[in-house]
Structure 1
Amino acid sequence: MLLLAAFTNSLQAQLISDSIQIEGNYRTFHFNTPAQNLKRPSLVFVMHGSGGNGKGMMNAATRMDQQARTENTIVVYPDGYKRYWNECRKASPALANVENVNEQAFFDGMIKYFTKQYRVDPKQVFAVGTSGGGHMAYKLALTMPDRFRAITAIIANLPDITNLDCTPAGKPVPVMIINGTLDSVNPYNGGAVNLGGNVTMGEVRSTDRTLAYWAGLAGYQGQPQKESLPDVDPNDGKTIERYTYKQKGKPEVVLLKVIGGKHDYPNDVDVHQEALRFFKRQLQ
């Protein structure tokens, strides 16, 4: 009986890797076989950081992936072009940026793929990314706001205006930001992003300016509501404050300020599960 259950579970969560051709490049993505009897499911893209890949990102989002299977949601882990994204940082030396690969066409193609194969609801598409993947999430919100219901960017700030090579659509969307105050790669207070050695990605805005951009776009004024989250792991040297702009008729905009956080994930919350909860709130 136990063997049968294990076999059944493995069938339910079999890894699938596929690709679509975008302007001469085969772009790949990975996902676990969806649960049975989905009805117009939501679609969540999870983007890896610079130098990573989709399969590696699956390990970081295991809990969210398992939870999504019970909540009528398909989670997809795309691969960047040669391990990087063509996001909005003009100074990025990544080939994805140098060759100006068409990321919008890639994500649009994946949305069409899952709409056809699994009948996902195209009005319930979300994206969460870490570091370079967070920058990719920002790009999707900036340039494809009609295709994405909400995004979450983890340890990433918007590029400084002098380093921005995207043309924003200017349409507000729900955004959650999760940044650490001691992050030396993505400086909380803004400045140069250095990946080590001589690899620089140009300058980013501060977290406060990034939050203010999305809040201003959504029409908020004044200060957000502040809440201190429980310090679940007092040994990790981090605490979290949540700042929320939320008003009926306006997109929700949230910052999780990880005090003492570096270029990593806090232990007090599972950031991907937190993103999934944020996404689900936008459907209520």
Structure 2
Amino acid sequence: MSNENISLQMRQHPGQAVITAHTIVTTDGPRHYLMATPRKQNENLRPLVIILHGAGASAAQVMGLAFPVSPLSVWLEIAEREQLLVVAPDGSKKGWNDSFAHVRNKPETDDTGMIRNLIAHMIREHEADPQRVYVIGVSKGGMMAYRLATELGSMLAAFASVLANMPQQSVCAAPVTPISALIVASTRDPLVPYGGGKYFYTPLLSPMKSINDTVDIWRTLANLPATGKSVDIPKSAASNPTSCTRITWGDNPEQLQIVLLRINGGGHAEPSQSQFYPWFLSRLVGAQNTDIDIAEEAWAFFKDKRCKDAGGNSRPETASGENK
């Protein structure tokens, strides 16, 4: 075992899946990722969850190993409890080549190809279940998740995009594969406008579709009714200025579903009941909701979903190598 992996494990809690560091070989060169594996042996194939960090963040941050600890780090506990494989790759230059056109300083790496190779590697070498591959991304990682759902939709059972909209102008074609989607959006997000467009003080971003238009793209593709079922989630603390509304299109969790978790009054912070951002970050990005936990909500949404085309994707065409 490498010294890096020993160091990672020393920084973890016993109730979490074990993190190890890896490198995957791509056409753009070696790419780093962290993998969390349950401590218990398991004879069955394991679901695979791929986490995409936000711009300027890292795999270490979403795995809870770097400041500020992300609410997505709760996936480590879920992985241990539910026998999942969780993988967090690092974006090139801490960013992603998402589908937004006219974005400054966007990396030119083939991130879709890298994720395709990573899925293939996890299926081939780590007994990931090809029917149960899921992607969740936050902020710019959520924007990349939309691109992956568009370009790799037949390989995914479902995806989640947190605090991210789709672009008004895209570098890739419109999505054609119906796929279950969990979309999390805050109505007072100071970086990602709920109503679309862009803020004048975000020059590095490109105009976005509104959340309602983003939801409609995936809802229409899934051939679901125009009106969803809305439920207000009970508040966990009366003092928190935010609230959460869950809107669901599709009644059967084993079939195509679209869910919007609308964080009313929330800012650019993933909702969580256990991992809270420091107060000074909330002053910058807005209030964090504490009524739900984003990782638990995503797993509840993912767990019954299966890839309809898994038979053709159990061995994706593009292979990958790894240096351990």
> CA contact under 8 A between 1:193 and 1:200: conserved in structure 2?
no
Alignment of 1:134-213 (within 5 A): 134-160=142-168, 163-192=169-198, 196=202, 199-213=203-217
The residue number in structure 2 matching 1:264 is 269
Once residues 229 and 11 of structure 1 are traced to their aligned partners in structure 2, the CA distance between those partners, rounded to angstroms, is 28
Amino acid at match of 2:262: K
> CA contact under 8 A between 1:86 and 1:136: conserved in structure 2?
yes
Alignment of 1:236-255 (within 5 A): 236-248=240-252, 250-255=255-260
Instruction: Determine helix, strand or coil for the equivalent of 2:130.
Output: coil
Find the partner of 1:69 among 73, 76, 80: 80
Show structure 2 runs of 5+ residues with no match. Answer: 1-9, 65-69, 271-288, 308-324
Instruction: Determine helix, strand or coil for the equivalent of 2:82.
Output: coil
Once residues 161 and 15 of structure 2 are traced to their aligned partners in structure 1, the CA distance between those partners, rounded to angstroms, is 32
Task: Sort the Cα spacing of 1:93 and 1:121 in 2 relative to 1 into closer, same or farther, 3 A.
Answer: same
Count of residue pairs the alignment pairs up: 272
> CA contact under 8 A between 1:145 and 1:171: conserved in structure 2?
yes
Q: How far 1:276 moved relative to its partner?
A: 1.1
Find the partner of 1:282 among 285, 305, 311: 305
> CA contact under 8 A between 2:183 and 2:259: conserved in structure 1?
yes
Amino acid at match of 1:242: R
Find the partner of 1:129 among 129, 133, 137: 137
Amino acid at match of 2:135: A
The TM-score with structure 1 as length reference comes to 0.89
Q: How far 1:104 moved relative to its partner?
A: 1.8
Amino acid at match of 1:63: V
Q: How far 1:221 moved relative to its partner?
A: 2.6
Q: Please tell me the root mean square deviation across aligned C-alpha atoms, in Å.
A: 2.3
Show structure 1 runs of 5+ residues with no match. Answer: 1-5
> CA contact under 8 A between 1:177 and 1:211: conserved in structure 2?
yes
Matched, 1:35 2:39: yes
Alignment of 1:43-122 (within 5 A): 43-59=48-64, 60=70, 61-96=72-107, 99=108, 101-122=109-130
The TM-score with structure 2 as length reference comes to 0.78
Instruction: Determine helix, strand or coil for the equivalent of 1:123.
Output: strand
Identity of aligned pairs, percent? 26
Once residues 259 and 158 of structure 2 are traced to their aligned partners in structure 1, the CA distance between those partners, rounded to angstroms, is 11
